[in-house]
Structure formats: C-alpha cells, structure tokens
Amino acid sequence: MPNITELMDLFNLSSRSSAFYASERLVAEGYANKDRTGKLVPAPGLFSVPRVGRIRAGFAAPAEEELADTISIGDFLLDNPNATYLLTVEGDSMEGAGILPGDMILFERTHDTKPGDIVVALTEDGYTLKYLRKRGARFYLEAANDRYPDIHPKEGQIVGKVTATFRKYGAR
C-alpha cells in the first residue's frame, strides 16, 4: 500500500495533510486499515469490488446495470468520433493485412502515428492506405502486397491512422 508521499503523487496533491485525509477516507470506506505504525495495509473491502452479471457456465441472468447500459457498434468502433472519417477501399494493395477491395475503413485524423500503424496518406492521386514503416531515420509507406512499391511520403501527407475496418454482406 502507498505511504503518504506516494499518495500525494497518486492523487496529485500538494500537501501532506490532504494526502493524510485521503488515507483516512480509504480506511473509512473499508478499503484499507492502519497498522500500529500508521502504515496503510489492505482491508477486505479492497478485494471485494462487485462484479456484475458475470457469466458462468450455462445461463446467467445479467445484472440490471448491464441491461440498461449498452453502447452502439458505432461507439464501440469509434474511440474519437469527432475526428473519425470513412473511406472505401479500392484495389488490393492491403490484401495481406486483410483489407480487401470494397471494404469500408474508419480512420482518425491525427498527427499521432507510429511505425506499424496502417496510415492514411493524401497524395496527388488521392488517399492511400499503407503500413507506416521506418528505416533508420526515414519513414516510408509499405503495401501489404509485394506487387506494390514503397512510397516515400512528403511532409504533411500522412493525415491519420486506420482505427477499424468493416465489410457489409448481402443487400444494401
């Protein structure tokens, strides 16, 4: 368990007395006890965080909390909905990554991309979807298909990264 100085760090507190107050709250809520020296030690409450609707074998009745609290598939796919956009895939350059012609991709506009991400770059010929790779200090774009050459993007051409793909079967 953390000591007072560590509590100050954890809760971003600037005074020892606030951290002391926080430790008293942990005791009052039943998550911790104090030993003879005043050190925090775990109390039973720490290990009994309620789990709701855990499914065992067979059927389980989900707890009401779960029934009431659902998210849409959109919310699940979109971590940052305000920066997310849709594209459709044309061509087979990302075949090896399981992204096929006609697939839909969701991408997030961001500068925060790193090697290994599937990024979206805007070139003179439109959007392209490729792995971001790094060799030495240089970044380049690599297709997931040997028939496509590497691309060396210019400054500012990488606009974001792919966050999800999906494919809709059957009639539209």
Partner 1 sequence: MAHGDGFPRAIVHFDGDSFFASVEQAKDWRLKGKPVVTGGERGAVTSLSIEAKRLGAQRGMPMQEIRRLCPDVIVLAGDYTAYSIYARRMYAIARTFTDAIEEYSIDECFADITGLEAVHGMSYEGIARRIKDTLEESLGITFGVGLAPSKTLAKVASKRHKPAGFTAIPKDRIDAYLADTEIYDIWGLGGALSGRLRSLGVYTALDFIQKEDAWLREHGFAKPVRDTWLELRGYPVLPLGSGRGRLPHSVMKTRTFAPPTSDRSFILSQLSKNVEAACAKVRRSGMQATALSFYLKTQEFTYHGVQLDLPAALDTPPEILRAISARLAEVYAPGVLYRATGVTLRGLVTTGSVTPDLFGQYEAVEDKRSAFRALDQVNRKWGRNTVFLGSSMRAFTTRDAAYRKQVEHPFLSADPQKKRVLNIPYLGVAR
Q: Which residues are designated catalytic?
A: 93, 130
Through-space distance between the first and last CA atoms of the chain, rounded to whole angstroms: 56
The letter for the amino acid at 149 is P
Binding mask 112-141 for partner 1 (x = CB under 8 A): --------x-x--xxxxx------------
Q: Phi first, then psi: what are they for 19, rounded to 5°?
A: -65, -40
Sign of the Cα torsion 108, 113, 114, 119 reads positive
Q: How buried is 120 (Cβ within 10 angstroms: 0-12 exposed, 13-18 middle, 19+ buried)?
A: buried
Kindly state whether residue 80 participates in binding partner 1, applying the rule CB under 8 A.
yes
Q: Which stretch binds partner 1 (CB under 8 A): 27-35, 38-46, 73-81, 134-142?
A: 73-81
Judged by CB under 8 A, which of 26, 32, 40, 105 binds partner 1?
105
Judged by CB under 8 A, which of 18, 84, 145, 157 binds partner 1?
84
Minimal distance, residue 90 CB to partner 1, in Å? 4
- What the block records as the tokens of 165 is 């793909």
* Paired strand residues for 54: none
Nearer to partner 1, 18 or 110 (CB): 110
Q: Which of 95, 94, 74, 70 is nearest to 84 (CA)?
A: 74
Kindly state whether residue 106 participates in binding partner 1, applying the rule CB under 8 A.
yes
Nearer to partner 1, 32 or 94 (CB): 94
Q: Which residues contact partner 1 (rule: CB under 8 A)? A: 78, 80-91, 93, 105-106, 109-111, 120, 122, 125-129, 159
